[in-house]
Amino acid sequence: MSTVLKVKDLCKTYITNKRQNNVLKNVCFSIEEGEMVAVMGPSGSGKSTLLYSVSGMDKPTAGEVILGDKDIAALSDNELSEVRLKYMGFIFQQMHMLKNLTIADNIVLPAYKLTNDKAKRKEIDAYCNELMRKLDISDIAGNDITEVSGGQLQRACICRSMINNPKILFADEPTGALNKSASDDVMKQLAKINDEGTSIMLVTHDMKVAAKCSRILYIVDGNINGEITLGKLSDGDTKERERKVSNWLYEMGW
């Protein structure tokens, strides 16, 4: 199993009213190919800051973030934009999509930005159709974003995140705005994508969501204080995994 992402001595400091706030403090971890890793911790612990720093959405103050053979922490803004477009996928709690485009047009947009070739764009359209079929939203391809449910829109966001075949997918509370049924459905789709080989790093406050991941990192005050390895989710072991995670979180002070 190869390492997809390696984070070494990552720091993030904000200066507010001349006061220094060290949000991340020498964080180290790695994500292997095919892993789905959850990040948990109390409010204000640095979960989202960690996700944004390792995904190139925000510049770390110090440290290394190695994706493949590139230290993305050392790249320029333009270089970072290209890396995010080609090698990363993103899913957010708030489902950002362009209102003037259909669901399908929103999905293909990141891939269209990489080429003007008509033949390649036809291939992109075909792949979009395949992704929408896999996530059971083919019937809303021509809909506006206001004409679909929250669960359908989040599944469309997953399709968009996968359109460029990323090495790793980052998700910030991907089920936070959904009801239980839609949340379970989205996690099922993420598990499918993960089973097909895409690595995933997600931030969540939901223990049941984290229990579906292969590993959980627990962050407190900008430091990773512990981790638990659960392995791949299999049929029938959900309750046992949730019990194990619940007990571990209690030990962590959750």
Q: What is the pLDDT of residues 171-196, one digit of tens each?
A: 998 888 788 888 888 888 888 889 98
Q: Residue 232, exposed/middle/buried by CB under 10 A (0-12, 13-18, 19+)?
A: middle
Torsion-angle region of residue 68: left (phi > 0), alpha (psi -120 to 50) or beta?
Answer: left
What is the model's pLDDT at position 161? Answer: 92
What is the model's pLDDT at position 15? Answer: 85
Would you report the helix, strand and coil content of the chain in percent, each value rounded to 5?
40, 30, 30
pLDDT in tens, 49-80: 999 999 999 999 999 999 988 899 999 999 99
Name which of 249, 228, 230 is nearest 240 in CA terms.
230
Reduced to 3 states (helix: H, G, I; strand: E, B; else coil), residue 23 is strand
- The pTM assigned to this predicted structure is 0.90
- For residue 165, give both structure tokens: 């075949």
Please, what are the domains in the chain? 3-252 (3.40.50.300)
pLDDT in tens, 130-164: 999 988 899 999 999 999 998 899 889 999 999 99
